[in-house]
């Protein structure tokens, strides 16, 4: 006795296509069925674990049903031969089923594959995947269907959905054309949509309008070279809700290969609280810098000034008694005076009084001057036209970015020349700090120093972008760009 075997749908369909006529038309249906099962093909179909059906092309009544189908449905063969697919597929009406098989009748398709449910004789149902073709049976046109029980697949998919729903982050799955095919409940909360509103919509729906034009190109590149990675490394990313509110996000991308093709799973984290905390830390840092700057100016500088005065008195007193000692005291007084000047410059950098009273451009000029005095490095501000900004918070963050970039050029780049540029470029405010030092390689993601991280955080607070590029031969270019509708030339 042959062992039951589960053939692939391609093997089953291939063998069914080879069926030839020759059975006596005068035989009764049960006799024809018995004759067919006597053939080698009939034995194969009868022993298959897959459900296999053949039904008339016109009447749709079942002609041949194998034992696997009979056992699963609970009908006898005589009962099945009085039924049609519509009797076991409750989801389908005659019109809907006709629309399904029409491409087979017209020759537009050789096979139709669809998912539905089969209803047993006892009223219970189970999910199936149907592979349907139009062929011939006993020299007459007939439909043949190979059925795959997708109960196990449904269990796997249900587990997958449960995992997706249990994740605390938002998850969106996207197809090769950018269409959304899956959304979890956390993503619904993030973006304010019901998942049914997003199914089939382009993923760009969830991206702020100013970024939508470039995103399809980035998406295509990912599908061409799929690998798990963070999205937009080094850039600040934003999502947009149904009501148009933007919020900062981090996104991890993972490719998923399936029978239906390649998909991308995006894991989305709302980092609004983190950004708020970073902003608070920077504000605390600014307040502490101001306090220290004021202490240096009001306390240390005054003490140095007092010591300097005492040194001058002592110098005069020793001038006649001990010229050599007087000369040494004079040198000490000069050093105290120099220290006092440096302390004042440090205090100015911490308090930024000029920034608050005269604006960013003037503060950058003063910063360039103090850099030359303190470090002996030539530092200039390019641009003849001043730019007036309405927001002192923007002034402060850009000033601190310039300070950090200049400090890096002096401490690490050993630069001899530093140039600061501030201009409006293509509707955005652009600040550049270029030096001729040894060059600074932009750090890999996750390996940035505190200063570089702080510059990126300051730029992100302004909805801007920061770029650090090493020169071809030497030097480094630090560029900060940000949208600034309120910028105007004076």
pLDDT digits (tens, 9 = 90+) for 2-21: 444 444 544 544 444 343 33
pLDDT (tens digit per residue) in 335-380:
988 888 878 777 777 766 777 778 888 888 988 988 888 888 999 9
- Per the CB < 8 A criterion, the answer to whether 152 and 128 are in contact is no
The predicted pLDDT at position 7 comes to: 47
- Distance (Å, rounded) from C-alpha 35 to C-alpha 261? 43
DSSP 51-69: EEEEEETTT--EEEE-HHH
Give the lowest-confidence range in 164-168, 223-227, 346-350, 396-400: 346-350
Output the pLDDT for position 266.
93
pLDDT, position 28: 60
Q: Residue 1: pLDDT band by 50, 70, 90 thresholds?
A: very low
Is 487 or 357 the better-scoring residue by pLDDT?
357
User: pLDDT at residue 42 above 60?
Assistant: no
pLDDT tens for each residue of 404-415 = 899 889 888 889
Given a cut of 80, whether residue 39 has pLDDT beyond it is no
What is the per-residue pLDDT for 313? 87
**pLDDT category of residue 470 using cuts at 50, 70 and 90:** confident
Instruction: Return mean pLDDT, the chain.
Output: 82
Measure the CA–CA gap between 248 and 252, rounded to whole angstroms.
Answer: 14
Q: What is the mean pLDDT of residues 442-461?
A: 70
Tens digit of pLDDT for each residue in 291-346? 887 788 778 888 888 888 888 888 888 888 888 888 898 899 889 888 888 787 77
Q: Are 181 and 175 in contact (CB under 8 A)?
A: yes
Q: How far apart are CA 49 and CA 8, in angstroms?
A: 10
Structure confidence by residue, pLDDT tens digits, 134-163? 988 888 899 999 987 666 666 777 777 787
Q: Please state, in angstroms and rounded to a whole number, the distance separating the CA atoms of residues 107 and 223.
A: 33
Position 17 scores a pLDDT of 39
Angle between helices 450-461 and 272-295 (to 10 degrees): 110
pLDDT at position 47: 59
In order of 195, 220, 397, 477, the CA distances from 201 in angstroms are: 10, 17, 38, 40
Q: What number of other Cβ atoms are within 10 A of residue 61's Cβ?
A: 15
Q: Distance (Å, rounded) from C-alpha 374 to C-alpha 220?
A: 51
Q: E strand or H helix at 354, and its extent?
A: helix 353-358
pLDDT of residue 38: 45
Dmax (CA) of the chain: 146
* Distance, CA of 137 to CA of 80 (rounded, Å): 17
Q: Could you report how far apart the first and last alpha carbons of the chain are, in Å?
A: 97
pLDDT tier for residue 397 given thresholds of 50, 70 and 90: confident
Which pLDDT score, from 0 to 100, does residue 19 have? 37
Does the pLDDT at position 289 exceed 50?
Answer: yes
Give the pLDDT score at 192: 95
Q: Minimum mean pLDDT among 109-113, 128-132, 436-440, 445-449: which range?
A: 445-449
pLDDT tens digits, 175-185 = 999 999 999 99
User: What whole-number percentage of the chain has pLDDT above 70?
Assistant: 82
Least confident of 2-11, 107-116, 208-217: 2-11
Q: Residue 27: is its pLDDT beyond 70?
A: no
Residue 37 has pLDDT above 60, yes or no: no
More confident residue, 386 or 283: 283
pLDDT for the residue 380: 92
Tell me the mean pLDDT in the region 208-225. Answer: 89
With cut-offs at 50, 70 and 90, classify the pLDDT of residue 231.
Answer: confident
Between 209 and 488, the higher pLDDT residue: 209
The larger pLDDT score, comparing residue 383 to residue 13, is at 383
DSSP state of 48: B
Q: Determine what percent of the chain is predicted with pLDDT higher than 90.
A: 34
Give the HSE-up count for residue 3: Cα atoms under 13 Å, Cβ half-sphere: 3
What lies within 8 Å, CB to CB, of 112 at 6+ separation is: 100, 101, 103, 104, 130, 131, 132, 133
Specify the pTM.
0.51
**Contact at 8 Å (CB) between 130 and 145?**
yes
């Amino acid at each position: 006795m042959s062992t039951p075997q589960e053939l692939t749908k391609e093997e089953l369909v291939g063998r069914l296509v080879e069926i030839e006529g020759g059975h006596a038309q005068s035989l009764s249906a049960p006799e024809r069925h018995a004759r067919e099962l006597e053939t080698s093909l009939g034995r194969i179909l009868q022993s298959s674990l897959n459900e296999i059906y053949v039904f008339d092309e016109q009447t749709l009544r079942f002609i041949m049903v194998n034992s696997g189908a009979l056992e699963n449905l609970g009908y006898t063969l005589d009962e099945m031969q009085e039924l049609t697919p519509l009797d076991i597929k409750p989801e389908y009406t005659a019109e809907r089923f006709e629309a399904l098989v029409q491409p087979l009748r017209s020759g537009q398709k050789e096979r139709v594959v669809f998912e539905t449910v089969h209803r047993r004789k006892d009223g219970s149902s189970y999910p199936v995947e149907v592979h349907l073709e139009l062929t011939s049976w006993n020299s007459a046109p007939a439909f043949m269907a190979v059925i795959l029980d997708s109960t196990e697949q449904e269990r796997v998919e249900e587990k997958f959905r449960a995992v997706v729903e249990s994740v605390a982050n938002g998850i969106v799955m996207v197809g090769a054309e950018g269409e959304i095919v899956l959304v979890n409940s956390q993503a619904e909360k993030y973006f304010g949509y019901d998942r049914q509103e997003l199914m089939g919509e382009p993923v760009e729906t969830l991206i702020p309008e100013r970024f939508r034009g470039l995103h399809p190109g980035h998406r295509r590149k990912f599908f061409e070279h799929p690998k798990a990675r963070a999205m937009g490394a080094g850039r600040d990313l934003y999502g947009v809700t149904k009501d148009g509110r933007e919020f900062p996000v981090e996104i991890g991308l993972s490719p998923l290969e399936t029978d239906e093709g390649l998909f991308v799973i995006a894991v989305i984290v709302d980092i609004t609280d983190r950004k708020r905390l970073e902003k608070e830390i920077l504000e605390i840092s600014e307040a502490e810098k101001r306090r220290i700057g004021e202490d240096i100016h009001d306390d240390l500088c005054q003490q140095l000034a007092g010591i300097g005065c005492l040194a001058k008195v002592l110098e005069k007193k020793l001038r006649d008694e001990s010229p050599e000692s007087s000369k040494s005291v004079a040198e000490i007084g000069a050093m105290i005076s120099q220290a006092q000047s440096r302390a004042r410059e440090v205090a100015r950098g911490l308090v930024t009084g000029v920034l608050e009273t005269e604006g960013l451009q003037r503060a950058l000029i003063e910063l360039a001057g103090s850099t030359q005095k303190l470090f002996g490095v030539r530092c200039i501000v390019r641009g003849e036209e001043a730019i007036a900004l309405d927001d002192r918070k923007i002034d402060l963050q850009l000033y601190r970015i310039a300070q950090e970039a200049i400090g890096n050029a002096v401490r690490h780049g050993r630069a001899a020349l530093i140039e600061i540029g501030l201009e409006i470029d293509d509707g955005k405010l652009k600040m550049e700090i270029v030096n001729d030092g040894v060059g600074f390689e932009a750090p890999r993601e996750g390996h940035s120093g505190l200063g570089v991280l702080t510059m990126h955080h300051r730029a992100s607070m302004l909805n801007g972008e920061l770029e650090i590029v090493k020169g071809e031969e030497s030097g480094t270019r630090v560029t900060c760009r940000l949208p600034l509708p309120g910028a105007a030339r004076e």
